[in-house]
Structure 1
Amino acid sequence: MVQTAFDESERRAWAGQADAYAASFAKLCAYPVPWLLDAAGVREGVRVLDVGTGTGTAAAVACEWGAKVTAVDAEPAMVALAARAAPDADVRLAALPGLPFADHEFDAVVGNFVLNHVGRPREALAELRRVTRPGGRMAVTIWPVPPAPGQALLGRAVGAAGVTRPAHLPALAPEDDFLRTEEGFAALLGEAGLTDVVCETLTWDHRTTLEEWWSGPAAGVATIGQIVTSQDPAVVAEIKSHFESLCAEFAGPGGALVLPHAALMARGRA
C-alpha cells in the first residue's frame, strides 16, 4: 500500500514515543474502551481485532472479557508495551490500510482513535470491513471537531503564542477528510459498506495534573507535541506560560486539572 505524506508524518511523529504517550495521553484515550468493546459485541470466545492498539488497553480488557484477541500497531515500541499489557493477546506490528489477515477473519473489530492517524480513512475502514466476517460488528472512535474544551486547551496555548502548524506536518488531504460530527462519522462508515450504523458522542471529565498534561507535548507526543517541540526554546517557554495561565479555567480540588472531553463512537455491521 502506498503511504500518503500524512501517513509518513505520523510514523515519524510516533517513533519511539510509546513511553511518553503512556505517561501522558494514554489514560485519556482509555476512557471509551469498555463502550467500544461492548458496541462491537466483544464477549467470551469472540475473535476480536484491536487495530492501533497503542499501549494495549483495549486488547487487555478484551482478554479479560474472555475474547480471542489479536492486536496490531504501526509503532514497534507500542507493540512492545501492548504485548506486556495483554500477554494473552496475539500482538503484531501492522499498519492500515494493509493488514496481514484473511478476509472475514474476525467476529469483531475495534479501533480506538486509530482513524485520527491514517491518511486515507475510507480505505482504512474498507480494510477493517474486509477482515470482519459478514454480520460481524465494528466499532471505532475519533475526536470530534470542534473539540471539547479540555481537548482544546493545548491548542489554545499554542495559538496564544502565535504558533501555526509547521509545513513539515501535513494535514489530511481535503479529498480524504470528512466531517468530524456524529452525522459525518456515521456517513463515513456507511460509505465503507457497513450497515446498521449508529454514531454517538461520549463525554467525560479527564482528571490529570498540569505537569502530566504538559509532559505529552513537551516530549513531542502526537501532533500537538510535534508542533511544540519544533519551536525554539523561547517559543516553547511562551507556549508553556500560556498553557499554565489557561489551566486556571480547569482547576479542580487538590491541584488537579479537570478537562471536559468528548469522543465520537460509531458502530456498524459488515
Structure 2
Amino acid sequence: MTVFDRSERLIWAGRSADYAASFARLCAHTVPQLLDAAGVVAGTRLLDVGTGPGTVAVAGRARGASVTAVDADPGMVDMAARAVPDADVRVGILPELPFADGTFDAVTANFVVNHVGRPREALTELRRVLRPGGRIALTIWAAPPAPGQALMGRALRAGGAVRPPHLPAGLAPEDDFPRDESGLTALLDAGGLRDAACETLRWNHRVGAEEWWSGPAAGVAHVGALLSSQTPEVRAEVRRQYDLLGAEFTTPDGLLGLPHAALLARARH
C-alpha cells in the first residue's frame, strides 16, 4: 500500500454519511452514461468498484443487472448494502479484489481510479475480473479542473490554508498520468485493455452554497482533509473567501451553478 493509499483510507474513514449528504449527488450525474458505456442491460453480471453509497449499484440493478459492489470503506459498504439489498456488497480494495478471473461481464468505477495509489495496477486488476470481451467503464475528474470544481481550492488558497506534512499532494511521479482524454486512454492501454476510448462530460452542478460547503467542512475528500487540518482562524477565512468567490457562480434563484468536467473512458477485455 502506498503513502497515497494510506492517506485515502484515513480521509474516507467514517465519512460515508457526510459524503452522501454533500458530494454524492454531484458524482451521480455521470451514472447513466457510465452504465451505457459498460453495456449494462438486463442479465449483465456487473461489478461496481468503489460503490460509495451504492449509486451505480442501484442504477445497475434498476436495469436488471446482477450486481456485485465493493468499496474500501466499511461505512460505505453498509450504506450501499441498505440501498441495494439484493446485491452482493462487500469490502474490496484495489488492486486486490476478492473475485476469480473472468467473473463479470462489465465493471464500472465511478470516480474511483483517482483514489488509488497505483492506477495502472488497478486497471490490470479490473481487467482480470472481466470475462474475455467484457466491458469496463470508468470516470475521473479532468485536470486542470473546471471552474466550479476549483471553487473550494481557490477559497483554500485565498484563505491561507497550508498543506500539513501528513497529507500527500498527489501520486508518486512514476504512478501518475495526465488527467485528460489521451492520458486516461493510455492508462487503459497500459492495463492491458482493448479498444480504449475516452470523452469529456461537462455539466453545471446546481447546489446550495451550504450543501456544497458541508462536505469539506465535515472533512470529506482530500479538500475536506486539507480544510479540517487548518487552525480555526484559517478555516474562518477560507469560509469568508468561499462566500466571496461563490458569488461568481450564484444564479438568480440563489443556488450555485458550478461547471464541472469529468472524463468517461471505456474499453474491453
- TM-score, normalised relative to structure 1: 0.98
SS of alignment partner, residue 245 of structure 1: helix
> How many pairs were matched up?
268
Aligned residue for 1:154?
Answer: 152
Distance 1:30 1:162 in 2: 32
Shift of residue 29 of structure 1? 0.4
Shift of residue 164 of structure 1? 3.5
Aligned residue for 2:55?
Answer: 57
Distance 2:66 2:227 in 1: 40
Distance 1:213 1:153 in 2: 10
Note the residue ranges of structure 1 that are not aligned, 5 or more in a row. none
Distance 2:202 2:89 in 1: 29
| Residue among 103, 109, 114 paired with 2:101 | 103
Aligned residue for 2:11?
Answer: 13
Deviations 1:173-214 (A, max 9, x none): 110000000000001001111111110000111010110000
SS of alignment partner, residue 175 of structure 1: coil
Whether 1:222 aligns to 2:221 is: yes
| RMSD across aligned positions (CA) | 0.7
Aligned residue for 2:200?
Answer: 201
Distance 1:41 1:26 in 2: 23
SS of alignment partner, residue 139 of structure 2: strand
SS of alignment partner, residue 8 of structure 2: helix
- TM-score, normalised relative to structure 2: 0.98
| Residue among 92, 102, 117 paired with 1:94 | 92
Deviations 1:138-180 (A, max 9, x none): 0010001100110000000001122243221112111000000
| Residue among 113, 117, 123 paired with 1:125 | 123
Aligned residue for 1:44?
Answer: 42
Match of 1:57, as an amino acid?
Answer: T
Aligned residue for 2:246?
Answer: 247
Shift of residue 85 of structure 1? 1.3
Shift of residue 84 of structure 1? 1.3
Note the residue ranges of structure 2 that are not aligned, 5 or more in a row. none
Deviations 1:25-64 (A, max 9, x none): 0000011001001100100001000000001000000000
Aligned residue for 1:116?
Answer: 114
Distance 2:184 2:83 in 1: 30
